Amino acid sequence: MNNRKTKYIIVAGGVISGVGKGLATASIAKILQRYGYNTTAIKIDPYINYDAGTLRPTEHGEVWVTDDGGEIDQDLGNYERFLGMYISRMNNITTGQIYKEVIDRERKGEYLGQTVQPIPHITDEIKRRVRQAAEGFDFALVEIGGVIGDYENIPFLFAVKGLEREVGEENVIYVLITYLPIPTHIHEMKTKPTQQAIRLLSESGIFPDFILCRAREPLDEIRKKKIETYANIDADCIISAPDISTLYSIPLNFEKEGFGEKILNKFGLKPKTSPSWQSWEELVKRIENPERVLRVAMVCKYIDIGDYNLSDSYVSINQALEHAGAHLNAEVKIDWIDSKRFEENDKVVKELSNYGGIIVPGGFGTSGAEGKIKAIEFARENDIPYLGLCFGLQLAVVEFARNVCNMPEAHSTEINPHTQYPVIDILPTQKELMEKHQYGGTMRLGAYAATLKKDSMVLKLYTKLHRLEEDRKRIEQLKKDPDQCFRLGILPLGKRAILERHRHRYEVSPQFIDILEESGLVFSGYHLRADGTRLMEFVELAGHRFFIATQAHPEFKSTLEKPAPLFLGFVEAALKGGELNE
């Protein structure tokens, strides 16, 4: 493997989880990228699940979908959002994948005669996977999930220590992220848990090169000194990381401490470029001090989640709205509305007129679907900007079929398998797979190309944000990849193709397309499968302020610097609602 010169930055967490290890990793990667280095980031998740596709979203947050069809941990979403590049599913390594690979090999007889053991076989496989994902990059950040001292991340710590020997210790540094609590009854920042984390890490033979101190407040000199003495590293290598108002200020704060150059120095490297953060800073300022406020109704399924924050299940949508808002100098405030409320009483739906715009996000299952359909009807009839994402497209088509095309009780067969008008359905090829219980193969996962309709609103928005040129480059890359080129389907000649990511099973049924179109629903983009089936990717309504829905999840490609076209268009249209947007 030709990645001898890749420099590894191992990021591990101490004290407690949930202190922003993923964001710190993404921010360090961003800084190194700005210094001109080709940088990637890898996430190790010590759980046994093969990937995040089967994790409960209310416990683990959103499932992040990669271009190459991976359903992985949402931290990888932060990596992509910060780095603005495609990160493969290979960059998420789980204990499940490692063990499965080793056991599969053992069954094939590849270890014949050997006793297969955690050390060295499991740790060798971890190292192989890390090096594979890092190949060809100047820097690879490797974030180890969980907290030092967790039973389950011991093999990973052992493996990275071994990696150090393989690639040379001059090519590996360690960043420990800890948390310094300020107990309310003493109002004093405590360093003891950090000291314990340093000691625990040393049990794996690892001594941190940097310690990132997360806390409510900045670290003072006295505490810096204490940690310096305990960890036996320069105070310069102790970075204060207090709470911030927006996650996009993290790299800026790190740079105030000169973190990027300090890391380069450790490796004996110099910046290749002098980075400009001006436009990033400008956007951060707008997030911190927006000129306007827009209220958006997110109509979704209520989930009983206890103390859990519902917005965590829709991180990418929140982020995409924040990106669009930053460009338009507006804060987008989201109200999460349980769609079931609209089912109980017809009048309740009128509350939606208090919002600048309405979103129906992705979803699965029957619960609350009728309420969502009511919300969509209200948006359509009252000229309120509407953005439908995946399930939000499917239900917009159902609503249009019922109320405009006179197909009573039209539905998606996911919700009503016996409907007379199955406008959203499983395609025949998928049905065959389902009969064979091969459910995995029935999901459309990852990037798919769509050809956009001439003169459509969708085409205008994608053109305005230069997505056609950008996605064309990606299309050329995919064309050359025999495993991934199926994502393009048959691309008709012309230059109106874009790529968005998918995670769904049902499609607009081809047999209803003509009749829906004749009644005024505009299909403004489609994917043409190699077998000739047209899959509808976008719908819009002419004469409406903004009524656009997509079968894809454009939120996965939105970044602070390049917001997603549909989100920008939606927020812009909603802001024009004038007095609503107080």
Q: Is 522 helix (H, G, I), strand (E, B) or coil?
A: strand
Tokens of 437: 């219980």
Separation of alpha carbons 536 and 450, rounded Å: 9
Residue span binding ligand GLN (CB under 6 A) among the ranges 84-92, 215-223, 504-512, 534-542: 504-512
Question: Is the separation of the CB atoms in 89 and 70 below 8 Å?
Answer: yes
46 near ligand GLN (CB under 6 A): no
Q: Given the complex with ligand GLN, which of 124 and 338 has the nearer CB atom? A: 338
- Closest CB 55 distance from ligand GLN, rounded Å: 15
Residue 505 C-beta: closest distance to ligand GLN, Å: 4
- Rule CB under 6 A: choose which of 51, 138, 331, 414 binds ligand GLN: 414
> Using the rule CB under 6 A, is 503 a contact of ligand GLN?
yes
Catalytic entry in 390, 399, 500, 507: 390
Residue (212 or 320) nearer to ligand GLN, CB? 320
Q: 332 has which bridge partners?
A: 294
Is there binding between residue 425 and ligand GLN (CB under 6 A)? no
- Write out the two tokens for 195: 């000291």
- Kindly tell me which residue out of 380, 474, 504, 544 binds ligand GLN, with binding defined by CB under 6 A: 504
CB of 389 to ligand GLN, least distance (A): 7
- Candidates 7-15, 189-197, 429-437, 501-509; binding stretch for ligand GLN (CB under 6 A): 501-509
If one asks whether residue 554 binds ligand GLN (CB under 6 A), the answer comes out as no
Task: Select 360 or 449, whichever has its Cβ closest to ligand GLN.
Answer: 360
At its nearest, how many Å lie between ligand GLN and the CB of residue 337?
A: 17
Contact 130, 142 (CB under 8 A): yes
**Shortest Å distance, C-beta 518 to ligand GLN:** 25
CB of 71 to ligand GLN, least distance (A): 11
Closest to ligand GLN by CB, 194 vs 430, is 430
CB 464 within 8 A of CB 451: no
Distance CA 387, CA 359 (A): 5
Q: How far is the CB of 502 from ligand GLN (least distance, A)?
A: 8
553 in catalytic set:
yes
Q: Of 411 and 503, which CB lies nearer to ligand GLN in the complex structure?
A: 503
From residue 405, alpha-carbon distances to 120, 290, 402, 535 in Å are 65, 42, 6, 20
505 binds ligand GLN (CB under 6 A): yes
Least separation in angstroms between residue 365's CB and ligand GLN is 7
SS3 assignment, position 534? strand
Please give the structure tokens belonging to residue 418. 């016996």
Nearer to ligand GLN, 122 or 390 (CB): 390
Of the residues 143, 399, 540, 555, only one is catalytic, namely 555
Judged by CB, which is closer to ligand GLN: 10, or 317? 317
| Residues in binding contact with ligand GLN, number by CB under 6 A | 11
Residue 506 sits in the site that holds ligand GLN (CB under 6 A): yes
For ligand GLN, the closer CB: 69 or 363: 363
Catalytic residue flag (residue 237): no
Q: Does 9 bind ligand GLN (CB under 6 A)?
A: no
Helix-strand-coil percent breakdown of the chain, rounded to 5? 45, 20, 35
Work out whether the CA dihedral 9, 10, 11, 14 comes out positive or negative. Answer: negative
- Indicate the helix (H) or strand (E) that contains 145: none
Binding part of the chain for ligand GLN, among 118-126, 186-194, 503-511, 560-568 by CB under 6 A, reads 503-511
Q: Considering 323, 411, 544, 553, which one is annotated as catalytic?
A: 553
CA 423 to chain CA centroid, Å, is: 30
- CA gap 21, 484 in Å, rounded: 31
C-beta separation of 89 from 139 below 8 A: no
Determine the Cα–Cα distance for residues 75 and 42; give it in Å rounded to an integer: 10
Output the smallest distance, CB 534 to ligand GLN, in A.
16
> Looking at residue 557, what DSSP letter applies?
G
> Is the CB of 52 or the CB of 167 nearer to ligand GLN?
52
Smaller CB separation from ligand GLN, 370 or 383? 370
**Smaller CB separation from ligand GLN, 177 or 315:** 315
Edge-to-edge strands of the sheet including 422-425? 411-412, 422-425, 507-508
The secondary structure of 162-210 as a DSSP string is: HHHHHH-GGGEEEEEEEE----TTTT----HHHHHHHHHHHTTT---SE
Please give the Cα distance from 575 to 492 (Å, whole number). 36
Alpha carbon distance, N-terminus to C-terminus of the chain: 58
Do 144 and 160 form a contact (C-beta atoms < 8 A)? yes
Contact string (CB under 6 A) for ligand GLN, positions 174-213, x = contact: ----------------------------------------
Q: Which among 170-178, 223-231, 502-510, 517-525 is the span making contact with ligand GLN, rule CB under 6 A?
A: 502-510
Phi-psi region of 293 (alpha: psi -120 to 50; beta: other; left: phi over 0): beta
Nearest partner of 492 among 537, 442, 452, judged by Cα: 452
Give the CA angle between residues 565, 569, 573 to the nearest 5°.
175
> Which residues, 376 to 395, sit near ligand GLN by CB under 6 A?
390-391, 394
CB of 364 vs ligand GLN, minimal distance in Å: 4
Q: Which of 362, 371, 422, 525 binds ligand GLN (CB under 6 A)?
A: 362
* Cβ–Cβ < 8 Å for 19, 26: no
| Nearest to 423, CA basis, from 443, 404, 397 | 397
363 belongs to the binding site for ligand GLN (CB under 6 A): yes
555 among known catalytic residues: yes
Per CB under 6 A, contacts with ligand GLN among 235-264 are none
Contact map string, positions 55 to 94, toward ligand GLN, x by CB under 6 A: ----------------------------------------
Helix (H) or strand (E) holding 221: helix 221-231
- Residue 442 makes contact with ligand GLN by CB under 6 A: no
By CB under 6 A, tell whether 364 contacts ligand GLN: yes
Contacts of 433 (CB under 8 A, 6+ apart): 439, 441, 442
Catalytic machinery residues:
390, 553, 555
Q: Which residues make up the interface to ligand GLN (CB under 6 A)? A: 362-364, 390-391, 394, 414, 503-506
